[in-house]
């Protein structure tokens, strides 16, 4: 494997070693994530980039405990803020997830509950994790909606998700996610379903929130443009394995892995000539991941 290992201090916010996630299927055990190591520090933005099937979302869902029952998760180390998540009791984990680690998802309108108002949904997080009630709760919800840039926040408390645009719903999800001032925010393709000007607003909002609170931010995406605009460090994933890890400038300037080179070359802005290069031009797409990473 060719990547520059990042020094993992004892103070890493999130530390993962050899994460393996398999699913029980009718055809046997399917390994979606096959031995991933990663670290995130406070105040840094890590992008995990890969295509469909690379296992990038599954690894983070495993950390959050959001995978279905047929998922088998194992790791040598899975530590958040010094606490061992592998041996944590369910009750402790429930208190942690949604408060200190939170996540936002890809399709904002469908990720919110259509039966409840947005005010109710943001309030729910505060009630469950912080025990807020009454006027204090309402005040905090309005504050959060303002912090994520919803105009007329007080009037919007009673709105339902279907009455809001995709961009606004994503802001509501972000409000839920930052409600308890998390130490780590995981954003799973947060702007894929959004228009480009709204994408820019949401990415700017995430960067701004991250900068102010110094939280760690993991940005999962397949879009190298989003990576270029947001990340400090990048992990490239393919078929459940890590292909490359580097700081953003090194990754774009001197990609080491063949797969990264193929991803960068497929960007339409890097096209020279008439044909867009595809991954297949770079190597035989194969389940033999070792062959891919060899130079």
Partner 1 sequence: MQQAGNLAVKPAAAGAAGDLLTVRDIRREYRAKGGLFRQDKITHALKGVSFSVKRGKTLAIVGESGCGKSTLARILTLIDAQTAGELQIEGEIINIAAQAIAPALRRKVQMVFQNPYASLNPRQKIGSILAEPLLLNTNMSAAARQKVVAEMLKKVGLPVEACNRYPHMFSGGQRQRIAIARALMLQPKLLVLDEPVSALDLSVQAQVLNLLADLQDEFHLTYVFISHDLSVVRYIADDILVMCFGEVAEYGPCEEVFRNPRHSYTKKLFEAQPHADIASIRRRIEARHKAAEQKAAAGAVQ
Q: Which residues bind partner 1 (CB under 8 A)?
A: 43, 51-52, 165-166, 195-200, 203, 211, 222-229, 232, 248-249, 252-253, 262-263, 266-269, 271, 274-280
Minimum CB distance to partner 1, residue 285 (Å): 9
Strand 216-221, strand 184-188: pairing: parallel
Between 121 and 191, CB nearer to partner 1: 191
Between 34 and 51, CB nearer to partner 1: 51
Minimum CB distance to partner 1, residue 24 (Å): 20
Between 132 and 234, CB nearer to partner 1: 234
191's CB contacts (< 8 A; 6+ apart) are: 170, 198, 199, 202, 203, 223, 226
Minimum CB distance to partner 1, residue 237 (Å): 13
Dihedral, 259, 261, 263, 268 alpha carbons, nearest 10: -160
Spatial CA neighbour of 21 closest among 66, 52, 88: 66
Which H/E stretch holds residue 284?
none
Between 139 and 254, CB nearer to partner 1: 254
Strand 241-247, strand 233-238: pairing: antiparallel
Which H/E stretch holds residue 54?
none
Chain-centroid distance of CA 52 in Å reads 14
Which H/E stretch holds residue 84?
strand 83-84
Phi, psi of 14 (to 5 degrees): -130, 130
Q: How far apart are CA 207 and CA 154, in angstroms?
A: 25
Q: Residue for token digits 């409600």?
A: 179
Contact status, residue 144 vs residue 122, Cβ threshold 8 Å: yes
Between 77 and 209, CB nearer to partner 1: 209
Sign of CA dihedral 100, 104, 105, 109: positive
Minimum CB distance to partner 1, residue 288 (Å): 18
Between 59 and 168, CB nearer to partner 1: 168
Minimum CB distance to partner 1, residue 279 (Å): 4
Minimum CB distance to partner 1, residue 18 (Å): 27
Between 95 and 266, CB nearer to partner 1: 266
Minimum CB distance to partner 1, residue 226 (Å): 6
Residues composing the chain: 295
């Amino acid at each position: 494997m060719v990547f520059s290992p990042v020094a993992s201090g004892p103070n890493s916010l999130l530390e993962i070693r050899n994460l393996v996630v398999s699913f029980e299927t009718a055809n046997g055990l399917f390994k979606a994530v096959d031995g991933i190591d990663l670290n995130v520090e406070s105040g840094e933005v890590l992008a995990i980039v890969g295509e469909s099937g690379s296992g990038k979302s599954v690894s983070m869902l495993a950390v959050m405990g959001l995978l279905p029952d047929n998922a088998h998760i194992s790791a040598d180390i899975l530590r958040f803020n010094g606490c061992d998540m592998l041996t944590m009791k369910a009750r402790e984990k429930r208190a942690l997830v949604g408060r200190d680690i939170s996540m936002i998802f890809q399709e904002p309108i469908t990720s919110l509950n259509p039966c409840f108002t947005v005010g109710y949904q943001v309030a729910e997080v505060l009630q469950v994790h912080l025990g807020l009630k009454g006027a204090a709760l309402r005040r905090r919800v309005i504050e959060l909606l303002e912090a994520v840039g919803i105009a007329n926040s007080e009037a919007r408390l009673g709105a339902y998700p279907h009455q809001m645009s995709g961009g606004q719903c994503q802001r509501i999800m972000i409000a839920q996610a930052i409600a308890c001032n998390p130490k780590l925010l995981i954003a799973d393709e947060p702007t894929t379903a959004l228009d480009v000007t709204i994408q820019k607003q949401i990415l700017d909002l995430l960067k701004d929130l991250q900068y102010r609170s110094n939280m760690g931010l993991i940005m999962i995406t397949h879009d190298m443009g989003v990576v270029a605009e947001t990340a400090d460090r990048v992990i490239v994933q393919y078929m459940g394995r890590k292909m490359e890890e580097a700081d953003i400038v090194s990754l774009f300037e001197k990609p080491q892995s063949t797969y990264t080179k193929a991803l960068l070359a497929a960007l339409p802005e890097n096209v020279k000539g008439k044909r867009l290069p595809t991954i297949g031009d770079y190597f035989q797409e194969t389940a033999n991941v070792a062959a891919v990473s060899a130079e």
